Structure 1
Amino acid sequence: MQFNYDPVDADEANRQRAIYEPFTHAVRELLDATIRTQAGPEDIAEATRLIEAVTAGLRTSQIDGPFGVRFTTEGEGMSWGNPVIGVRNPMAPPLEIKRGEGRCWTDFDLGAAYEGPPRHVHGGISALILDHILGEAASDGGDRPLFTGTITLKYLRGTPLGALRSEAWVERVEGVKTYARGFISDADGPTVEAEGVFITPAWARDPQ
Structure 2
Amino acid sequence: MSGYITEEIPAEELTRQIERAREIGDSVRSLVAATVVTDVDDDDLAEARRHIDAATEILERRRIDASFGLRFNSDGRLRNWGNAVEGIRNPIAPPVEFHAEPDHVWSELHLGPQYEGPPGLVHGGVIALILDQVLGNAAVNAGAPGMTGTLTIRYRKGTPLGSLRVEGRLDRTEGHKSFASGTISTADGLCAEAEGIFIMPRWARGLDASRQMGVGDA
TM range (shorter): over 0.9
Q: Alpha-carbon deviation of 1:10? A: 2.9
Name the residue aligned to 2:200: 200
CA distance in 2, matches of 1:153, 1:107: 19
Deviates more, 1:74-83 or 1:151-160: 74-83
Q: Alpha-carbon deviation of 1:59? A: 0.5
Which structure 2 residues correspond to residues 85-164 of structure 1 after superposition, within 5 A?
85-140=86-141, 144-164=144-164
Name the residue aligned to 1:78: 79
Figure out how many residues of one structure are paired with residues of the other and give that number: 202
CA distance in 2, matches of 1:145, 1:178: 7
CA distance in 2, matches of 1:204, 1:19: 31
What secondary structure sits across from 2:7 in the alignment? coil
CA distance in 1, matches of 2:179, 2:23: 36
Q: Deviations over 1:71-116 (max 9, x none)?
A: 1112221001111011111111011100112100000000101000
Whether 2:15 is the aligned partner of 1:14: answer yes
Name the residue aligned to 1:181: 181
CA contact (8 A) 1:8 1:71 kept: no
C-alpha RMSD over aligned residues: 1.6
Q: Quick one: which amino acid aligns to residue 204 of structure 1?
A: A
Name the residue aligned to 1:50: 51
CA distance in 1, matches of 2:186, 2:170: 22
Q: Quick one: which amino acid aligns to residue 120 of structure 2?
A: R
Name the residue aligned to 2:68: 67
CA contact (8 A) 1:105 1:167 kept: yes
CA contact (8 A) 2:139 2:169 kept: yes
CA distance in 2, matches of 1:66, 1:163: 30
Q: Alpha-carbon deviation of 1:42? A: 0.6
Unaligned runs of 5+ in 1: none
Q: Quick one: which amino acid aligns to residue 156 of structure 1?
A: R
> Structure 1 residues 54 and 191 mapped into 2: Cα distance closer, same or farther (>3 Å)?
same
4+ runs deviating over 6 angstroms? none
Unaligned runs of 5+ in 2: 207-218
- Percent identity reads 47
Q: Alpha-carbon deviation of 1:5? A: 6.3
Give the TM-score normalised by the residue count of structure 1: 0.92
Give the TM-score normalised by the residue count of structure 2: 0.88
What secondary structure sits across from 1:62 in the alignment? coil
Q: Alpha-carbon deviation of 1:54? A: 1.3
